Chains A and B, each alone.
Chain A
Amino acid sequence: AQTVTQSQPEMSVQEAETVTLSCTYDTSESDYYLFWYKQPPSRQMILVIRQEAYKQQNATENRFSVNFQKAAKSFSLKISDSQLGDAAMYFCAPREDLTTSGTYKYIFGTGTRLKVLA
């Protein structure tokens, strides 16, 4: 089974600045998917960005990008031009296949609470 570690319980960033959230994981699989989810106070889990492990190119979605280091099993999230609406819990979530059924589950870490300062 995969495991995931988010070593930063809380981070703060000034509005309009850049912040990086770290994530390391452990897996025995060679091909897998990695996701970052955002959970604002409303509790809704919102997909931020995804990365396929077989792709060398780092994923980018507008102000969000990842630094994926497959050999180091590291998957950090960079948020540029931070906005007040970015304040939330962020979960790194490797995806693990439920092999006998063809579907999958997420392995969630303990999350990083991001505060955005005006």
Chain B
Amino acid sequence: NAGVTQTPKFRILKIGQSMTLQCTQDMNHNYMYWYRQDPGMGLKLIYYSVGAGITDKGEVPNGYNVSRSTTEDFPLRLELAAPSQTSVYFCASSSTTTWWPQHFGDGTRLSIL
């Protein structure tokens, strides 16, 4: 089925470890986004991309990096995991049509211990 696929679904990291959250979409969407959702809160934008090779910071980019080498993939990297990064991470994509909503992945639950 077409959509946004995130891997892994769950992960536990130790403080200081690094990891990459994977996100891929097969809808040929130019726009892709990473959000985080802290317990009891809405989503906050970490990074976004308007096309291959173009990325920009959102509201809460510190501690994260992204790359966009292809239209389909938009990985999010945590270099030095900290307990404050314990959250659920959502990847989303959207087309260039003005009002189209963002299509969200199922999320990755990440715990930093």
Contacts and interface: CB of A to CB of B under 8 A. Distances in A.
A37 to B, nearest CB: 8
Contacts of B107: 43-44
A57 B44 CA distance: 30
A43 B90 CA distance: 9
Contacts of A91: 42-43
Nearest to A44: B106
Given A105-B58, A108-B43, A45 B104 contact: yes
A50 B97 CA distance: 15
B113 to A, nearest CB: 21
A50 B99 contact: yes
Interface string B52-85: 0010101100000000000000000000000000
B88 interface: yes
Interface residues of B, number: 25
A33 B99 CA distance: 8
A52 interface: yes
Interface in A24-43: 33, 35, 42-43
Interface of B: 31, 33, 40-45, 48, 50, 54, 56, 58-59, 88, 90, 92, 94, 96, 99, 101-102, 104, 106-107
10 contacts: A42-B106, A44-B107, A47-B101, A91-B42, A98-B48, A98-B56, A101-B56, A102-B50, A105-B58, A110-B42
Interface of A: 4, 33, 35, 42-45, 47, 50, 52, 91, 93, 98, 101-103, 105-111
